[in-house]
Amino acid sequence: MGSNQSVTSVEVKYQTKQGLAKWVKWVIIPILIVGSILLGFMQIKAPQPADLNAPLDSFSALRAMEKLKVIAKEPHPMDTLAHDLVRDYLLLELKGLGLSPEIQKTYVTSELNSGQSATVENIIARIPGRDNSKAIMIAAHYDSLPRGPGAADDGAGIAAILESVRAIQVSGQLKNDLIVLMTDGEEMGLLGAKAFMDEHPWAKDVGLVLNFESRGNKGPSFMFETSDQNGWIVNEFIKAAPQPVAYSLIYNVYKLMPNDTDLTVFRQGGLDGLNFAFGMGVNAYHDSIDTPENLDKSSLQHHGEYMLSLARHFGNLDLNEVKQENRVYFNVVGWHMVSYPESWALWFTLAGTLLFVVTIWHGMYRRRMSFGGMAGGFLLSLVSLGAVFGAITLIWNKLRTTVSDQQYEAMILDPDVSIYYVLGLLFLTIVIVFLLIKWGSRYVRAENLWIGALFLWLLLCIGTTFYLPGGSYLFIWPFICSLIGLNVSLQMRKGEWIWVSVLFAVPGFVLITPIFYLVYVMMTLHMAGPLLTVSALALSLIFPMVCTPRDRGTGSGYLSQ
């Protein structure tokens, strides 16, 4: 009788354990993965637009939109009647706000656009402060290209200036002078910015410039560029911006690209500053559909809230010395940001390296890792990334040759079209990685596969720490968290720990998701191969979840669970 009860008790425990395992596999793990991706997406959102009844000392996108409808009524490139009408309208609006605007009219030659020359007409105004240290300057360009009315690029920035100046005039005088600069000829090669820096006497008075741009017509406005030695500026930006979205990785990558805005000229002239832009809806960039009706009002609100809050904040600080060691900065959950000096990245990488070594010792001590197995895990990780890059690049290039130029343009620029392609490529990436790891795990233990994949992450940590420090956070923190998870799993019984890899991969998915999406919308699927390889790298954090259950002994070639 006692024997039968004992058998029954064991069976109940076994069934309970199996039921719990299924619950974890089919409910908890998907919730962790989907939830972490959603947390990542929560970082890249714009605030709700304020209506016409918003307090007069605050920014209202709908009030600014009334101005934008006039500014971007039609294309207004330089040397056209439409351009002159916009110029005159802006002068009239600034005068109505109690300012005394002036026109800086001068002939200038671009250093960027094959020697392009033209006569620019910058619109400039100054609001005196109570006790000026150095001036805060807000800048945007008011010219457009002939093929589009430029509602987003850069009518949104100009309309935001008008609404922000109105709110500042209502709330009262700043400590520092406020300079308003509406540049001309930006689309012709940053001509207006060059004219201001070369010839205008106020250029030497500027302590900090806030420049506003666009590369689309929707989405959050994010701070994508700073001047060098940005530590103090970034700290103050995080304090003052009500809904900050910024990634030092984007800034580091942007510096390596040939793209330029007016801030390029300001920085070359010795000014410190911040650059803002929204970039979703890139199919509207420099196109006829860049109209006020198609502009996302939330994007305009985000532009304006940055402009107003930062002008007030920096306008009341001492701007005589704003340089400090560059910082690493990034969003974590929603608009909450983390920031620390770039020099700390080296210490975090050293700490991660030490933890990596300790983890290897821990795994070998428990007889669940071997050097041969780790080498196999590392090679399998490299093969999975190479397979994804090769397959996606081959498929995308083949697809490119089978469609017309017009179809291809829609595939990469129209978000309503490209989203289906990116989802399809993501699904293909998951299938490739799943099949490779499922096959490889027959020969490599889950622990060896995990530590082998993390060795690749360690190499990326080291590389970015020395050559792309602003992007080091994207690898350091997922790496360290996953190592902690691996050590936790080594303390657990085999067969009960696979879910731990997913739990400790959450920080990695949270950090990589917004970067993946921003690169997708800003660089388009023209970069499909590298973009999907990044997603495959993120999947390497949950390789153990994919492993094939094998023999439960401790043979060096088999997976232990």
Q: What is the DSSP string of 371-382?
A: HHHHHHHHHHHH
Residues 220 and 118 in one domain: yes
Instruction: Give residue-wise pLDDT tens across range 262-290.
Output: 999 999 999 999 999 999 999 999 999 99
Tell me the percentage of the chain whose pLDDT exceeds 70. 92
Q: Is residue 20 part of a domain?
A: no
Q: Is residue 47 part of a domain?
A: no
Q: What distance in Å separates the CA atoms of residue 293 and residue 295, rounded to the nearest whole number? A: 6
**Which of 434, 436, 426 minimizes the C-alpha distance to 532?**
426
Q: Is residue 136 part of a domain?
A: yes
Residues 387 and 297 in one domain: no
Residues 336 and 354 in one domain: no
pLDDT at residue 9 in the model: 59
Residues 199 and 169 in one domain: yes
Q: Is residue 168 part of a domain?
A: yes
Of 288, 311, 341, the residue that ends a domain is 341
**Which of 409, 187, 148 minimizes the C-alpha distance to 295?**
148
pLDDT value at 535 more than 60: yes
Residues 253 and 185 in one domain: yes
Beta carbons of 232 and 326 less than 8 angstroms apart: no
Instruction: Give residue-wise pLDDT tens across range 28-49.
Output: 888 889 999 999 999 999 999 9
- Banded pLDDT at 4 (limits 50, 70, 90): low
Q: What distance in Å separates the CA atoms of residue 474 and residue 249, rounded to the nearest whole number? A: 8
Q: Which of 165-174, 476-485, 486-495 shows the lowest mean pLDDT across its residues?
A: 486-495
Q: In which domain, by residue range, is 286 found?
A: 61-341
By DSSP bridging, strand 327-333 and strand 336-341 are: antiparallel
* Three-point CA angle 478, 484, 485, nearest 5°: 85
Q: Is residue 26 part of a domain?
A: no
User: In terms of DSSP H, where are the helices of 343-370?
Assistant: 343-365
Residue 507 or 12, more confident: 507
- The torsion region of residue 357 among left (phi > 0), alpha (psi -120 to 50) and beta comes to alpha
Question: Does residue 154 have a cis peptide bond before it, meaning omega lies within 30 degrees of 0?
Answer: yes
Residues 487 and 533 in one domain: yes
pLDDT value at 474 more than 60: yes
Instruction: Give residue-wise pLDDT tens across range 36-92.
Output: 999 999 999 999 999 999 999 999 999 999 999 999 999 999 999 999 999 999 999
Going by the DSSP 8-state scheme, the letter that residue 103 receives in this structure is: E
**pTM of the model as a whole:** 0.90
Record the tokens describing residue 37, joined without a space: 């991706």
Q: Is residue 25 part of a domain?
A: no
Count CA within 13 A, CB hemisphere, residue 60: 13
* Sequential DSSP letters for 424-455: HHHHHHHHHHHHHHHHHTTTS-HHHHHHHHHH
Beta carbons of 196 and 127 less than 8 angstroms apart: no
Residues 304 and 392 in one domain: no
- Banded pLDDT at 419 (limits 50, 70, 90): very high
Instruction: Give residue-wise pLDDT tens across range 449-461.
Output: 999 999 999 999 9
pLDDT at residue 424 in the model: 96
Residues 394 and 434 in one domain: yes
Q: Is residue 397 part of a domain?
A: yes
Q: Is residue 475 part of a domain?
A: yes
**Can you list the positions of beta strands (E) in 215-352?**
222-226, 273-278, 327-333, 336-341
**In residues, how long is the chain?**
561
Residue 25 or 92, more confident: 92
Q: What distance in Å separates the CA atoms of residue 550 and residue 447, rounded to the nearest whole number? A: 13
Residues 348 and 273 in one domain: no
Of 300, 322, 341, the residue that ends a domain is 341
Alpha carbon of residue 337 to chain centroid? 12
Residues 254 and 358 in one domain: no
Overall number of domains in the chain: 2
Record the tokens describing residue 274, joined without a space: 């911040």
Residues 167 and 106 in one domain: yes
pLDDT at residue 552 in the model: 35
Which residue is listed with tokens 């560059």? 326
Record the tokens describing residue 357, joined without a space: 């070594």
Residues 290 and 348 in one domain: no
Q: Which of 258-262, 375-379, 487-491 shows the lowest mean pLDDT across its residues?
A: 258-262
pLDDT at residue 559 in the model: 35
Position 5: which residue type?
Answer: Q
Q: Which of 108-122, 147-161, 311-325 shows the lowest mean pLDDT across its residues?
A: 108-122
pLDDT value at 551 more than 50: no
- Banded pLDDT at 365 (limits 50, 70, 90): very high
Instruction: Give residue-wise pLDDT tens across range 343-360.
Output: 999 999 999 999 999 999
CATH code of residue 294 = 3.40.630.10
Tell me the percentage of the chain whose pLDDT exceeds 90. 81
pLDDT at residue 217 in the model: 95
Of 341, 368, 389, the residue that ends a domain is 341
Q: What distance in Å separates the CA atoms of residue 245 and residue 452, rounded to the nearest whole number? A: 34
